[in-house]
Amino acid sequence: MAASTEVRSGLSYGWLLGESGWNTLMDANLLKIGRFGFHLSVKDRDLATPPGSPVAGDTYIVAGSPTGAWVGHVNDVAVWSGLAWVFATPRMGWFCYIEDEQKISVFKAAWSAGVAI
């Protein structure tokens, strides 16, 4: 039986014991949880161009009219893996801490203005 995909998180599940492919999909699950699954904090949400020298783990919300590697990812959360940008499309109710603004923002159809903390 092929693995199923959980609709809210996009995580794979339901492999049979010894089924081929479970290891690569489980690795992808764990990376997704580590990058986006809890306590989302981003450095900035006003950048439309990827920063020139990101460090692995640097995280941003992609601003409007993105360029370069961020094209097509407006409002997505971008994480630098150390080799490439990895993106997640936020779901309604996601919230994150915006480090440079010291605000918490919630995603509805877009990210809210935020509340200072």
Q: Locate tokens 């439309």: which residue?
A: 48
User: Of the ranges 6-10, 27-31, 87-91, 106-110, which one carries the lowest mean pLDDT score?
Assistant: 6-10
Q: What's the one-letter identity of residue 66?
A: P
How far apart, in whole angstroms, are the C-alpha atoms of residue 54 and residue 12? 29
| Backbone torsions φ then ψ of 32, nearest 5 degrees | -60, -45
Q: State yes or no: pLDDT of 37 exceeds 90.
A: no
* Distance between CA atoms of residues 113 and 23, nearest Å: 40
Residues 16 and 3: beta-carbon distance below 8 Å: no
Q: What is the pLDDT of residue 73?
A: 98
pLDDT above 90: residue 15: no
Q: Which of 25-29, 81-85, 101-105 has the lowest mean pLDDT?
A: 25-29
* HEC string for 18-84: CCCCHHHHHHHHHHHHHHHCCCCEECECCCCCCCCCCCCCCEEECCCCCCHHHCCCCCCEEEECCCC
Q: What is the pLDDT of residue 1?
A: 57
Structure confidence at residue 25 as a pLDDT band (50, 70, 90): confident
Q: What is the reported pLDDT for 33?
A: 82
Give 73-100 pLDDT, tens digit per residue.
999 999 999 999 999 999 899 999 999 9
**Model confidence at 70: pLDDT above 80:** yes
Helix, strand or coil for residue 100? coil
Determine if the pTM surpasses 0.75.
yes
Domain boundaries, the chain: 1-37, 39-117
